[in-house]
């Protein structure tokens, strides 16, 4: 369509609008409809002035209340600015029915009714919506569409967009379908994000294992966006059967090029179901990677080391290699601290002294057994002992079990006058010594 034809259509629309306005100015029926419009608006303002305060008082929940009903009442209260334009729209619709029954015509009052609907859309975009994405969508899609509907051009624009067909292989769709897809896709994506956050928050509150909780979160996310995709295809008018060829090609590509990603995804599901390693566990892999699990994603698991570094480990490594789990959701672990005493010590006293000292540590457990001091051997400089004890957790940055126990051993030996040996060396000098 060239620019000349567009100008001609615009000029013709202008002339039709001018003629319609002139007819309305000299028509008694039009003036009566104008009067009904004014009456409908004034009545809407009166009803709104009476109902708005009462609805506000009725819907405002008690301060500090966060129940489901309180949140629902707050949500409904947000839409209170729509009351006036919607009341005007409803009263105008009644006036239109009366006018058409009396005069057989209601073009003026129908135009006014569409104007009130436009004002409702404008109030929704400017005064109600707070989310930046929804506000942008309302301002640039909803309000222009309501304006076109108010002036009577919406059907013509829709027909023009529906007539522009785009062919892509065996799939054909119109420009209207593209517009619908953009709008519906944006809304569905936003709604999917919101639904996913709500479902994740609900799942996090449920009493279940962390691995099962994460699996449920991922499953709900896949289900939400899968349903959103099916709805979007239906809105755009695209048959799912027409996507079979493309889906087959993508499937072949996935089979050959994305084997590792698929393997890691399935391994992640197995990890979450079995719960052998979950968020918060300290693990060590055969490859030397060690750290606390802070995230379990669809493709990989993220470990955090003592020095704050993140290690991204493919989920497949947790299935195909040996993994040592030091935490296992908070199970007890046995640690050992070695020490030595002098050969001049009465070693029969050492176990009781050390076991009593180590038992004073608040992190040392008495179950499955208390501290156990054992003789390990006779070294070059002293007699070697080792004390074993059980703790919840591991000896890491926050938990300095080995350091604390060594302090307790040092103090206990000093209090009992037991010497901690230092290396002794015997030097043999052959031949005369010259001073």
Sign of CA dihedral 127, 132, 135, 136: positive
**Highest mean pLDDT pick, 207-221, 250-264, 352-366:** 352-366
The b/e string for 174-205 (b: 16+ C-beta within 10 A; e otherwise) is bebbebbbeebbebbeeebeebbeebbeebee
Q: Which residues pair with 334 in a beta bridge?
A: 390
Which region among 102-116, 126-140, 363-377 has the lowest average model confidence (pLDDT)?
Answer: 102-116
What residues make up the domain containing 320?
A: 277-325
pLDDT at site 247: 58
pLDDT at 174 over 60: yes
The b/e string for 230-263 (b: 16+ C-beta within 10 A; e otherwise) is ebbbebbebeeebeeeeeeeeeeeeeeeeeeeeb
Q: Of all helices (H) and strands (E), which one includes residue 293? A: strand 290-296
Whether 203 is in a domain gets the answer: yes
Tokens 């938990």 belong to 399
How far is residue 312's CA from residue 279's CA, in Å, rounded to a whole number?
A: 14
Q: CA–CA distance from 261 to each of 286, 301, 318 (Å)? A: 21, 13, 14
How many residues would you count in the chain?
Answer: 435
User: What does the pLDDT average to over 385-406?
Assistant: 82
Same domain, 100 and 220: no
Percent over 90 (pLDDT), the chain? 10
CATH code of the domain containing 371: 3.30.70.100
Which has more pLDDT, 231 or 126? 126
Whether 15 is in a domain gets the answer: no
CA torsion 288-292-295-301 (nearest 10°) is: 10
User: How do strand 290-296 and strand 323-325 relate by DSSP bridges?
Assistant: unpaired
Cα 191 off chain centre by: 12
User: What does the pLDDT average to over 37-53?
Assistant: 85
Query: What are 307-340's pLDDT values in tens digits?
Result: 778 888 888 888 888 888 776 545 677 889 999 9
Same domain, 195 and 239: yes
Which has more pLDDT, 360 or 169? 360
Same domain, 340 and 303: no
Same domain, 136 and 119: yes
* Lookup: tokens for 200: 């994740």
To the nearest whole number, what is the mean pLDDT of the chain?
76
Whether 102 is in a domain gets the answer: yes
How far is residue 342's CA from residue 236's CA, in Å, rounded to a whole number?
A: 86
Same domain, 146 and 68: yes
The number of distinct structural domains making up the chain is: 4
How far is residue 291's CA from residue 283's CA, in Å, rounded to a whole number?
A: 6
pLDDT at 386 over 90: yes
Percent over 70 (pLDDT), the chain? 77
Same domain, 73 and 136: yes
Whether 142 is in a domain gets the answer: yes
Which has more pLDDT, 50 or 208? 50
Whether 129 is in a domain gets the answer: yes
Whether 427 is in a domain gets the answer: no
Same domain, 238 and 355: no
| Cβ(420)–Cβ(410) below 8 Å | yes
Same domain, 92 and 50: yes
Question: Which residue, among 358, 364, 360, 354, has the nearest Cα to 395 in the 3D structure?
Answer: 364
Same domain, 102 and 138: yes
How far is residue 272's CA from residue 214's CA, in Å, rounded to a whole number?
A: 7
How far is residue 297's CA from residue 308's CA, in Å, rounded to a whole number?
A: 19
How far is residue 195's CA from residue 199's CA, in Å, rounded to a whole number?
A: 6
Whether 181 is in a domain gets the answer: yes
How is 318-342 classified by DSSP, letter by letter?
A: HHHS-EEES-TTT-EEEEEEEEEE-
Query: What are 247-295's pLDDT values in tens digits?
Result: 565 666 556 556 777 777 777 777 777 767 777 778 888 877 788 888 8
Strand, coil or helix: 98: helix
Which has more pLDDT, 173 or 320? 320
Which has more pLDDT, 275 or 133? 133
pLDDT at 126 over 80: yes
What's the pTM?
0.47
| Cβ(174)–Cβ(166) below 8 Å | yes
pLDDT at site 412: 92
Same domain, 250 and 283: no
Strand, coil or helix: 364: strand
Same domain, 25 and 129: yes
How is 15-69 classified by DSSP, letter by letter?
A: HHHHHHHHHHHH-HHHHHHHHHHHHHHHHHHHHHHHHHHHHHHHHPPPTT--SHH
Alpha-helical (H) ranges within 237-367 are 244-257, 259-274, 315-320, 350-358
User: What does the pLDDT average to over 173-183?
Assistant: 73
Is the peptide bond preceding residue 368 cis, with omega within 30 degrees of 0? Answer: yes
Sequence-separated (6 or more) residues with CB below 8 Å from residue 137: 183, 186, 187
pLDDT at site 328: 57
CATH code of the domain containing 287: 2.30.30.60
How far is residue 84's CA from residue 41's CA, in Å, rounded to a whole number?
A: 9
User: What does the pLDDT average to over 162-175?
Assistant: 67
pLDDT at site 3: 44
Same domain, 200 and 305: no
Whether 395 is in a domain gets the answer: yes
pLDDT at site 2: 43
- Indicate the pLDDT class of residue 373, thresholds 50, 70 and 90: very high
| Cβ(207)–Cβ(287) below 8 Å | no
């Amino acid at each position: 369509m060239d620019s000349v034809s567009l100008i001609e259509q615009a000029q013709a629309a202008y002339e039709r609008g001018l003629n319609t306005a002139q007819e309305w100015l000299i028509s008694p029926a039009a003036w009566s409809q104008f009067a009904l419009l004014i009456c409908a608006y004034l009545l809407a303002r009166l009803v709104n002035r009476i109902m708005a305060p009462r609805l506000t008082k009725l819907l405002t929940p008690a301060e500090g209340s966060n129940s489901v009903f309180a949140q629902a009442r707050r949500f409904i209260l947000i839409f209170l600015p729509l009351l006036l334009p919607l009341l005007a729209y409803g009263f105008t619709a009644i006036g239109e029915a009366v006018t058409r029954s009396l005069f057989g015509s209601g073009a003026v009052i129908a135009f006014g009714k569409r104007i009130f609907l436009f004002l409702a859309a404008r109030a929704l975009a400017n005064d109600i919506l707070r989310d930046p994405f929804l506000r942008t969508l309302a301002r640039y899609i909803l309000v222009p569409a309501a304006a076109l509907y108010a002036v009577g051009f919406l059907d013509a624009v829709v027909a023009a967009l529906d007539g522009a067909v785009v062919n892509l292989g065996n799939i054909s769709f119109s420009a209207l379908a593209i517009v619908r897809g953009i709008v519906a896709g944006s809304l569905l994506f936003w709604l999917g994000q919101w639904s996913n956050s709500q479902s994740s928050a609900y799942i996090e509150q449920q009493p279940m294992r962390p691995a099962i909780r994460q699996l449920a979160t991922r499953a709900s996310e896949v289900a939400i966006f899968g349903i959103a995709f099916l709805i979007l295809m239906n809105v755009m008018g695209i048959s799912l059967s027409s996507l079979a060829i493309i889906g087959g090609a993508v499937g072949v590509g996935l089979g050959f090029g994305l084997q590792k990603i698929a393997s890691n995804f399935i391994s992640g599901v197995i990890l979450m179901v079995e719960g052998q390693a979950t968020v918060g566990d300290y693990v060590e892999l055969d490859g030397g990677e060690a750290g606390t699990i802070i995230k379990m994603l669809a493709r990989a698991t993220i470990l955090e080391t003592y020095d704050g570094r993140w290690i991204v480990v493919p989920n497949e490594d947790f299935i195909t290699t040996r993994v040592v789990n030091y935490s296992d959701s908070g199970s007890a672990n046995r640690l050992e601290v070695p020490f030595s005493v002098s050969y001049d010590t009465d070693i029969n006293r050492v176990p009781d002294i050390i076991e009593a000292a180590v038992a004073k540590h608040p992190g040392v457990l008495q179950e499955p057994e208390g501290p156990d001091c054992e003789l390990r051997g006779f070294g070059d400089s002293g007699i070697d002992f080792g004390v074993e004890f059980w703790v919840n957790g591991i000896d890491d940055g926050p938990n300095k079990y080995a350091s604390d126990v060594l302090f307790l051993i040092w103090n206990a030996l000093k209090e009992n006058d037991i010497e901690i040996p230092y290396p002794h060396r015997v030097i043999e000098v052959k031949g005369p010594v010259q001073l």
